[in-house]
Chain A
Amino acid sequence: MRRLTVLLAFAGGFFAVGALLRRTSGRGRERVDLYYADGSMKTLADGSVDAARLLSLAREAIHAARA
């Protein structure tokens, strides 16, 4: 019984740490995904000039929505 409790606690901890890592790994990330009529998609990752311009406009839109 004790062994089972330890095993369950270990499994629970393992999944909790995994979930936490998955959540935090995407946080703070900035990017823009563009979808075209032909079904193609282009991602502008944070750091490029185009992404910086679009992300600045996106932040303006968010602030306009929350003002």
Chain B
Amino acid sequence: MDGTQAIADLTEISSQIESVVLLDGKSAVAGSTFTDDTAATRFAEAAKALLEAAEGLREGGEPLTQLEAETPEGSVFVLREGDRLIAATTVPDPTVGLVFYDLKSALRAAEDAKPKRKPRARAPKKTTKAAKDDA
């Protein structure tokens, strides 16, 4: 599943999520609910700034993996797994656990879509004269 499909599935199952952006390992937008890339990038930059500011609060400790900022206007969720990141805004008073679960599922679904290394082709079996004789 690619990022766009993962985002489409996410917005279909979660009515609480308003907008969402998925960034790949190179911080490029891999999928979003935004109609234009500029808006998606602007929101992604704002979400990354939030995550970086939050990381700065606990230097040298365990890495920050996810956050939720709740305001009367709505909430912002940012999750990071490896070098991938997903950020979303929701309606006010969202079901926090459910939103985190849905975002994590979307992030993992997009992760599974990453191209895997092709297995090396096996060398053809050596046929011995004895085997040939048996056949």
A contact set with B: CB distance below 8 Å:
23, 26-38, 40, 42, 44, 50, 53-55, 57-62, 64-67
Residues of A within 8 A of B72 (CB): 27-30
Total inter-chain residue pairs, C-beta < 8 Å: 98
Residues of A within 8 A of B57 (CB): 34, 44, 50
Given contacts A34-B64, A36-B61, A65-B19, contact A58 B69 (CB under 8 A): yes
Given pairs A31-B69, A54-B50, 18 additional interface contacts (CB within 8 A): A27-B72, A29-B70, A30-B71, A32-B69, A32-B70, A33-B67, A34-B54, A35-B64, A36-B58, A38-B62, A54-B54, A57-B50, A57-B53, A60-B46, A64-B43, A65-B89, A66-B18, A67-B42
- CB pair A62–B66 under 8 Å, yes or no, is no
B contact set with A: CB distance below 8 Å:
18-19, 39, 42-43, 45-47, 49-50, 53-54, 57-58, 61-76, 87, 89, 92-93, 96
Residues of B within 8 A of A44 (CB): 57
- CB pair B71–A62 under 8 Å, yes or no, is yes
Measured CB to CB, the closest approach of chain B to A42, in angstroms, equals 8
